Chains A and B, each alone.
Chain A
């Protein structure tokens, strides 16, 4: 560690300190930190510079505090890792030492220097330029205070699967009102369809249905099913949301689940809840424990309500409580919301996209969710899986892993849960049909949760499942049998087996419509279509839009354990905001020099937030709406708008520093 102090005439009143971090060896190996200190001291505004092993550590922060006090620094630079990591840490140091947090800037000499270059001399030169450029910025930074605004103490949770249920209950239990919006007719999501859950083999319904019921009866939760988000306006703490609630045609308050309407209904269609393996009526309840606990009418299947074509279900001797209401209308519901949790879940990849496996052609090639329904005691097979083609109990069955996952032609990512649930399927099936022959085709076994490895071992050893390492190339049906072609990459030989049924572990993909929802909420989507978190470690449940949090499989494929943990994390972050009386809005917003403004309105046309209004023929920025993107600044033909702490002058002087002119 070395601390040097400059004794020179200084043309500026700013007194800047510079702290160069070694980051252990991460920076110091490629950047000569001592030289950075020596060079930066030549800058007229720099009065103090030193280097240290870990500036972010407690002793490192104390060095900064000491220098601020002793040298009466007016601002400081930490030349270290990316500002994404520790800008907040160091701005807090500034704040507790009496400096304005905006008088601290970071020079990124790790991610964008020492880690990407090998030539020590050149990396050091670059570090000096980056640090000087940060000094040039900080001496021109205004001292800003966060803008304080009030907030609506109400949460919106989008998606009623296990993630949405958990998040809604956590927030509601803490005493805040929650609006839970679900696109389908019941909450419960995919978990409601599952037979048993790995690795403990608890029955899914036994875990889920009490939570669903808790949602239904919670005084703080307003549940809106058959509902979709139309648009979201506003900002953290002050969102205005419009929700479209589609008609149910049955009043859940009046319905007593007598089933008479279902018995009389003449129309049968395939059941979505049973993944097409059973039939339901046009008036139906997806499953007995559905919440809200009421029937609904499927308008597409119903013979007709306007004019009434059949109308049997609404007759007074059928529906005693007069719950069936053909005049039910679409409602537009408006809510003022403080925070939002997005938990829109996943879908299985469409098996039709994988033609060589023939799931769209052959009845006995089914999806993993269909098999889950077949295993379920309340499912279409009443607990013992039968072949969809002839209702016989299969004796030989094959599970195919990674169908659409880890495949450049489909999804490059791993779907995370298929190895373990395929093992669960094999085990449960073996318990039901002890003389069954079970084959499991896998690429690698990825059982990466607590106790999952033991679970897989148990399946391999106890259940005697034949695990074959290799990809299946083709599946087709011949003479009532399912033929599977593949390769065993461990024995290096081709495999051709005949089974009664094949189960495809299809990859998890983001729920349909997520792109549209994401663009309405201005949240980002990652390369695979899932919602993008702000930072995988520092902000794993936050979206890039403040006040909007992510939970569950909408963010990435994950199992129920991780989903629930993430949902509670999102709820706790949401509560962190709801429990405040005022919230802070970034002060680095646009500001108008009214003397220069010509009132041309160009800024109004480019502002994505409607934050600019014309008052007395001059543009005026509503600061709480401004997100600081700078679109108006670059559009203004009169140079009348500038962005606080990112002014043209700052950019210009930073450029000079970056090319070595300063």
Chain B
């Protein structure tokens, strides 16, 4: 991959866990690449698929961090709502030929600054490997994958290709 490529990553962080975990990484002065910019959301259950897609359309990867399952969600079960949504979204992305690895969901508690920094570093490296993302489909690998999957879908008579 292009050495000079600095991925743009948007992070949706829930205000109780993910965001606090990111703050804890700061308080502990743990370093991670500046490629990640965050947006605070009340709960991971507030995040909509359309928002994730909108974010992905403007970036190279989207990180979502919420409270640990099963019990940590401040709003009881928002994390599960998020989990369901992201799982479905990833299947959808795969079907349309976008690498689902561009979306990453993590449970990061308010005390897990170390985990936040590690995830931020790992995810940046993964996105670097995947290369820049062009949602409208001009240059990235995924477009080839997209065409391939379309082709395969045709071959399979329109059935989902797992």
Contacts of A629 in B (CB 8 A): 42-43, 45-46, 74-75, 78
Residues A631 and B43 in contact, CB atoms below 8 Å apart: yes
Residues A659 and B39 in contact, CB atoms below 8 Å apart: no
Whether A426 is near chain B, meaning CB under 8 Å from some CB there, is: no
Contacts of A524 in B (CB 8 A): 16, 67, 71-72, 74
Residues B58 and A116 in contact, CB atoms below 8 Å apart: no
Residues B10 and A655 in contact, CB atoms below 8 Å apart: yes
Whether B30 is near chain A, meaning CB under 8 Å from some CB there, is: yes
B:51-110 near A, CB below 8 Å? 51, 54-55, 58-59, 67, 71-72, 74-78, 81, 85, 109-110
Stretch with Cβ within 8 A of B (4 or more), from A279-287, A483-491, A591-599, A645-653: A645-653
Whether A48 is near chain B, meaning CB under 8 Å from some CB there, is: no
Contacts of A122 in B (CB 8 A): 6, 34
Residues B111 and A527 in contact, CB atoms below 8 Å apart: yes
Stretch with Cβ within 8 A of B (4 or more), from A124-132, A248-256, A460-468: A124-132
Whether B134 is near chain A, meaning CB under 8 Å from some CB there, is: no
Whether A330 is near chain B, meaning CB under 8 Å from some CB there, is: no
Q: Mark A633-655, 1 if CB is under 8 A from B, else 0.
A: 11100000001001010011011
Whether B122 is near chain A, meaning CB under 8 Å from some CB there, is: no
Candidate in B8, B58, B72, B110 with the most chain A CB atoms within 10 angstroms? B110
Whether B151 is near chain A, meaning CB under 8 Å from some CB there, is: no
Stretch with Cβ within 8 A of A (4 or more), from B20-28, B123-131, B140-148, B152-160: B20-28
Q: Mark A599-635, 1 if CB is under 8 A from B, else 0.
A: 0000000101000000000000000000111110111
Whether A420 is near chain B, meaning CB under 8 Å from some CB there, is: no
Least CB distance from A432 to B in Å reads: 43
Contact A118/B31 with A654-B39, A655-B10 known, Cβ cut-off 8 Å: yes
Least CB distance from B52 to A in Å reads: 10
Please, how many angstroms separate the alpha-carbon atoms of A545 and B16 in the complex? Answer: 11
| Nearest-CB residue, chain B, relative to A110 | B26
Residues B26 and A111 in contact, CB atoms below 8 Å apart: yes
Candidate in B27, B38, B42, B51 with the most chain A CB atoms within 10 angstroms? B42
Residues A123 and B71 in contact, CB atoms below 8 Å apart: no
Residues A116 and B30 in contact, CB atoms below 8 Å apart: yes
Residues B110 and A532 in contact, CB atoms below 8 Å apart: yes
Please, how many angstroms separate the alpha-carbon atoms of A437 and B125 in the complex? Answer: 60
Residues A659 and B59 in contact, CB atoms below 8 Å apart: yes
Whether A10 is near chain B, meaning CB under 8 Å from some CB there, is: no
Contacts of A115 in B (CB 8 A): 26-27, 29
Whether A84 is near chain B, meaning CB under 8 Å from some CB there, is: yes
Residues A119 and B34 in contact, CB atoms below 8 Å apart: yes
Whether A440 is near chain B, meaning CB under 8 Å from some CB there, is: no
User: Residue A659 contacts which of B8, B29, B76 (CB distance < 8 angstroms)?
Assistant: B8
Is the interface on chain A under 10, 10 to 19, 20 to 34, or 35 or more residues?
35 or more
Whether A518 is near chain B, meaning CB under 8 Å from some CB there, is: yes
Residues A655 and B54 in contact, CB atoms below 8 Å apart: yes
Whether A656 is near chain B, meaning CB under 8 Å from some CB there, is: yes
Residues A631 and B81 in contact, CB atoms below 8 Å apart: yes
Residues B111 and A526 in contact, CB atoms below 8 Å apart: yes
Q: Mark B36-51, 1 if CB is under 8 A from A, else 0.
A: 0111111101111011
Least CB distance from B60 to A in Å reads: 10
Residues B26 and A116 in contact, CB atoms below 8 Å apart: yes
User: Residue A116 contacts which of B8, B25, B46 (CB distance < 8 angstroms)?
Assistant: B25
Residues B22 and A111 in contact, CB atoms below 8 Å apart: yes
Is the interface on chain B under 10, 10 to 19, 20 to 34, or 35 or more residues?
35 or more
Please, how many angstroms separate the alpha-carbon atoms of A185 and B32 in the complex? Answer: 53
Whether A63 is near chain B, meaning CB under 8 Å from some CB there, is: no
Residues B58 and A661 in contact, CB atoms below 8 Å apart: yes
Whether A35 is near chain B, meaning CB under 8 Å from some CB there, is: no
Candidate in A112, A643, A661 with the most chain B CB atoms within 10 angstroms? A112
Contacts of A646 in B (CB 8 A): 41-42, 46
Please, how many angstroms separate the alpha-carbon atoms of A524 and B6 in the complex? Answer: 37
Candidate in A84, A111, A643, A646 with the most chain B CB atoms within 10 angstroms? A111
How many A-B pairs have beta carbons closer than 8 Å: the answer is: 139
| Nearest-CB residue, chain A, relative to B25 | A116
Residues B71 and A630 in contact, CB atoms below 8 Å apart: no
Least CB distance from B146 to A in Å reads: 22
Candidate in B26, B59, B76, B112 with the most chain A CB atoms within 10 angstroms? B26
Contacts of A117 in B (CB 8 A): 31-34
User: Residue B32 contacts which of A82, A116, A634 (CB distance < 8 angstroms)?
Assistant: A116
Q: Mark A3-44, 1 if CB is under 8 A from B, else 0.
A: 000000000000000000000000000000000000000000
Please, how many angstroms separate the alpha-carbon atoms of A6 and B30 in the complex? Answer: 37
| Nearest-CB residue, chain A, relative to B32 | A116
| Nearest-CB residue, chain B, relative to A106 | B40
Candidate in B25, B31, B58 with the most chain A CB atoms within 10 angstroms? B58
Please, how many angstroms separate the alpha-carbon atoms of A177 and B29 in the complex? Answer: 46
Contacts of B75 in A (CB 8 A): 522, 608, 627, 629, 631
Residues A130 and B37 in contact, CB atoms below 8 Å apart: yes
| Nearest-CB residue, chain A, relative to B37 | A658
Residues A125 and B34 in contact, CB atoms below 8 Å apart: yes
Whether A555 is near chain B, meaning CB under 8 Å from some CB there, is: no
A:66-92 near B, CB below 8 Å? 82-84
Least CB distance from B100 to A in Å reads: 20
Please, how many angstroms separate the alpha-carbon atoms of A117 and B24 in the complex? Answer: 14
Residues A525 and B71 in contact, CB atoms below 8 Å apart: yes
Whether A519 is near chain B, meaning CB under 8 Å from some CB there, is: yes
Contact A634/B31 with A84-B23, A651-B39, A655-B39 known, Cβ cut-off 8 Å: no
Contact A655/B58 with A527-B111, A631-B78 known, Cβ cut-off 8 Å: yes
Residues A108 and B23 in contact, CB atoms below 8 Å apart: yes
User: Residue B46 contacts which of A522, A545, A633 (CB distance < 8 angstroms)?
Assistant: A633
Least CB distance from B157 to A in Å reads: 30
Residues B48 and A634 in contact, CB atoms below 8 Å apart: yes
Residues A522 and B54 in contact, CB atoms below 8 Å apart: no
Contact A525/B72 with A629-B78, A631-B43, A634-B46 known, Cβ cut-off 8 Å: yes
Residues A84 and B20 in contact, CB atoms below 8 Å apart: yes
Residues A643 and B42 in contact, CB atoms below 8 Å apart: yes
Least CB distance from A23 to B in Å reads: 12
Residues A658 and B71 in contact, CB atoms below 8 Å apart: no
Please, how many angstroms separate the alpha-carbon atoms of A396 and B93 in the complex? Answer: 70
Please, how many angstroms separate the alpha-carbon atoms of A271 and B103 in the complex? Answer: 57
Residues A656 and B58 in contact, CB atoms below 8 Å apart: yes
User: Residue A126 contacts which of B37, B42, B74, B109 (CB distance < 8 angstroms)?
Assistant: B37
| Nearest-CB residue, chain B, relative to A636 | B48
Whether A211 is near chain B, meaning CB under 8 Å from some CB there, is: no
Residues A133 and B39 in contact, CB atoms below 8 Å apart: yes
> What are 9 A-B contacts defined by CB distance under 8 Å?
A112-B22, A133-B37, A526-B109, A544-B16, A631-B43, A633-B46, A652-B54, A655-B58, A659-B37
- Can you add 12 more A-B contacts, CB < 8 Å, to A544-B16, A629-B45, A631-B77? A111-B22, A111-B23, A112-B38, A113-B34, A115-B26, A115-B29, A631-B46, A631-B75, A646-B42, A654-B39, A656-B58, A658-B10
4 A-B pairs with least C-beta separation: A111-B26, A630-B46, A629-B75, A608-B76
List residues of chain A with CB under 8 Å of any chain B CB: 82-84, 108, 110-113, 115-119, 122-123, 125-126, 129-130, 133, 515, 518-519, 522, 524-527, 532, 544-545, 588, 606, 608, 627-631, 633-635, 643, 646, 648, 651-652, 654-656, 658-659, 661
List residues of chain B with CB under 8 Å of any chain A CB: 6, 8, 10, 16, 20, 22-27, 29-34, 37-43, 45-48, 50-51, 54-55, 58-59, 67, 71-72, 74-78, 81, 85, 109-112, 117
